[in-house]
């Protein structure tokens, strides 16, 4: 029997009243069958709702893993009362499901949990979205270099971001192929989201216009580098 704690990130209807459930934990991803979970009277139904943090006991048989007992640890009820937070929650789920593989779960899990806690506490949803996305990009190895110019290594006079070079560009190396120069506030936001650790994750909320602009750029960056289109991005950038 397996026992672990984790957060439900995907459910899929399987047969009549059964669900296939995907949970990310602090050590790996788990996929298991929750028999009868769609029945109203099912004791395990609450623990396999989307984005619930739960404690799970699995039985392992010839047909794979199945849920023996599920217990809700946290349901993040406050998120459900805020449409913007709900939209960002779906975005976080999409980012996790599409970009995170089993080996990455250990690194990303604390930031996923922190993101849900922040949304549940009423923290600015768009700031949570951009912080989480940047962390995931770091984890999968395509985070932007925000320490120095990508072309010459200079640490001063940074004036832009080159997504084709995956990082900052200084005034000496900048040209029109890099797009427009970036104001200092936007550069600070980009540096913060790619450099912050768990302790400082969510201590700063950002201006909406800057966040929306950066999110759109990162969405295109993800598409170019992973061939993954983040469909929920369009909704949250209209919040």
The reported pLDDT for the residue numbered 64 is 86
What is the spatial distance between Cα 213 and Cα 128, in angstroms, rounded to a whole number? Answer: 15
Q: Are 201 and 129 in contact (CB under 8 A)?
A: no
Please give, one letter per residue, the 3-state secondary structure of 130-175: HHHHHHHHHHCCCCCECCCCCCCCCCCCEEEEECCCCEEEECCCCC
Asked whether the predicted pLDDT for residue 9 surpasses 80, the reply is yes
Please check whether residues 43 and 136 belong to one and the same domain: no
The reported pLDDT for the residue numbered 159 is 96
pLDDT band at 211 (very low <50, low <70, confident <90, very high): very high
The reported pLDDT for the residue numbered 161 is 95
Please check whether residues 44 and 85 belong to one and the same domain: no
The model's pLDDT over 132-150, given as tens digits with 9 standing for 90+, comes to: 999 999 999 999 999 999 9
Of 41, 74, 107, the position where a domain reaches its end is 74
Please check whether residues 117 and 199 belong to one and the same domain: yes
Of 53, 74, 95, the position where a domain reaches its end is 74
**Containing H/E element for 29?**
strand 29-34
Structural domain that includes position 182: 78-148+153-236
How many domains does the structure of the chain reveal? 2
Determine the distance from the C-alpha atom of residue 205 to the mean position of all C-alpha atoms in its chain, rounded to a whole number: 17
Average pLDDT taken over every residue of the chain: 95
Helix axes 125-139, 208-226, angle to 10 degrees: 30
Q: Are 59 and 65 in contact (CB under 8 A)?
A: yes
The reported pLDDT for the residue numbered 179 is 77
Please check whether residues 29 and 124 belong to one and the same domain: no
Higher-confidence residue: 180 or 86? 86
Please check whether residues 188 and 169 belong to one and the same domain: yes
Asked whether the predicted pLDDT for residue 177 surpasses 80, the reply is no
The reported pLDDT for the residue numbered 195 is 97
What is the spatial distance between Cα 74 and Cα 213, in angstroms, rounded to a whole number? Answer: 33
CATH number for the domain that contains residue 66: 2.40.50.140
The model's pLDDT over 30-86, given as tens digits with 9 standing for 90+, comes to: 999 999 898 878 999 999 999 999 999 999 987 789 999 999 999 999 998 999 999
Of 52, 74, 96, the position where a domain reaches its end is 74
pLDDT band at 229 (very low <50, low <70, confident <90, very high): very high
The reported pLDDT for the residue numbered 1 is 84
CATH number for the domain that contains residue 230: 1.20.1440.120
Please check whether residues 223 and 116 belong to one and the same domain: yes
């Amino acid at each position: 029997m397996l026992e672990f704690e984790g957060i439900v990130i995907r459910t899929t209807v399987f047969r009549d009243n059964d669900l296939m459930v995907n949970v990310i934990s602090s050590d790996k991803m788990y996929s298991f069958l929750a028999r009868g979970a769609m029945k109203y009277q099912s004791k395990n139904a609450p623990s396999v709702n989307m984005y619930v943090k739960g404690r799970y006991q699995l039985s392992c048989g010839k047909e794979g893993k199945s849920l023996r007992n599920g217990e809700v640890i946290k349901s993040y009820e406050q998120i459900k009362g805020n449409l913007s937070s709900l939209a960002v929650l779906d975005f976080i789920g999409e980012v996790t499901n599409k970009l995170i593989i089993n080996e990455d779960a250990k690194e990303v899990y604390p930031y996923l949990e922190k993101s849900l806690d922040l949304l549940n506490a009423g923290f600015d949803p768009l700031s949570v979205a951009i912080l989480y996305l940047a962390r995931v990009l770091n984890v999968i190895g395509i985070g932007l270099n925000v320490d120095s110019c990508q072309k010459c290594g200079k640490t001063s006079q940074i004036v832009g971001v080159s997504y084709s070079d995956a990082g900052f560009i200084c005034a000496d190396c900048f040209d029109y192929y890099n797009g427009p120069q970036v104001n200092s506030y936007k550069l600070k936001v980009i540096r913060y989201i790619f450099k912050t650790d768990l302790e400082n994750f969510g201590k700063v909320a950002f201006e909406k216009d800057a966040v929306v602009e950066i999110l759109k750029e990162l969405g295109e960056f993800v598409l170019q580098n992973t061939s993954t289109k983040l469909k929920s991005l369009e909704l949250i950038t209209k919040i």
